[in-house]
Amino acid sequence: MKLLPLLLAMVLIPMSAASAQTVVDRLRALDEQRAAGELSEEAYREQWRKVLAEGMREVGVEPVRGGSRARAAGAAAVAANPLDRDWEVAFSGSWSRLSAGDSDLTTTAVDLTFGRFVTRSLLIYGTVDFLQADIDGDDLEAWSAGIGADWHFGDRSAGFSPYIGAGVSWANVDIEDVGDDNDFAWDVHAGVRQYVDERVVIRYQGGYQQYSDLDLDGFFVTVGIGLRF
């Protein structure tokens, strides 16, 4: 119920960012007053309707009459709008072409990512992945853990969202008959997220990765599927 006024504003009003933020701030203040016992439930409902109506008039839109229909539209938006699901866990597979000194190697990797949209555009995430390759007949394996951030463009509710991002990670690289070593790596990437429905997202991504001390760098492509909640 606390989010219903904001959802109604998103559904009914094509407001500017500044106007929308003003409405959100006033509605949050009403939430705090109700939580503190300063407003009854009836007074709370009346006040948020008034705030919403004033915000609509500021952008030249007359409020929609018929509260039950408006509430039904807001309830539908809760289920359908991917903006309402900020957390995400995803599983991905990737292919990369790395240069290792005078050799080129093809690697495959799987990773598990957990992240959150901290704003409408910024996703912060952590990831764990496992990489495997063959280098001059020797097996190469690497476990890594890292963090990163993606900046998204456009409206996520449109179903597609292009993005750019960067990440850093710590890796343990083990090469057969050579030994293992720890290193840091960084990457830059870009991609597109496809929102299949309100919960499922598919990610298509390409980028460049380089290790700090090990002589490894190259390009990669990734496809993954995630669950939003």
The angle formed by the CA atoms of residues 22, 199 and 160, to the nearest 5 degrees, is: 70
Mapped onto helix, strand or coil, the DSSP state of residue 46 is helix
Is residue 25 domain-shared with residue 111, that is, in the same domain?
no
d(CA 142, CA 144): 6
Please give the average per-residue pLDDT across 153-168, as a whole number. 87
Q: Beta-strand (E) ranges in 118-159? A: 122-135, 138-152
Name beta bridge partners: 99: 104, 217
Cα dihedral 206, 211, 215, 216 in deg (nearest 10): -20
Is residue 90 domain-shared with residue 203, that is, in the same domain?
yes
Model confidence over 21-39: pLDDT tens digits? 676 778 778 878 888 888 8
User: Which of 80, 99, 121 is the endpoint of a domain?
Assistant: 80
Please give the average per-residue pLDDT across 5-30, as a whole number. 61
Is residue 68 domain-shared with residue 137, that is, in the same domain?
no
d(CA 208, CA 221): 9
Is residue 25 domain-shared with residue 44, that is, in the same domain?
yes
Domain count, the chain: 2
Mean confidence (pLDDT) of the chain:
80
Name beta bridge partners: 75: none
Model confidence over 62-118: pLDDT tens digits? 555 544 454 444 444 444 444 556 899 999 999 998 887 777 788 999 999 999 999
If 0-12 CB within 10 Å is exposed, 13-18 middle and 19+ buried, where does residue 107 land? Answer: buried
Closest Cα to residue 223, out of 91, 92, 90, 89?
92
Is residue 183 domain-shared with residue 160, that is, in the same domain?
yes
- CATH code assigned at 221: 2.40.160.20
User: Which of 80, 99, 129 is the endpoint of a domain?
Assistant: 80
Per the structure, the complete domain to which residue 219 belongs is given by: 84-228
Mapped onto helix, strand or coil, the DSSP state of residue 10 is helix
Query: What pTM does this model have?
Result: 0.62
N residues, the chain: 229
Is residue 113 domain-shared with residue 55, that is, in the same domain?
no
Closest Cα to residue 117, out of 80, 149, 163, 154?
149
The pLDDT value given to residue 156: 67
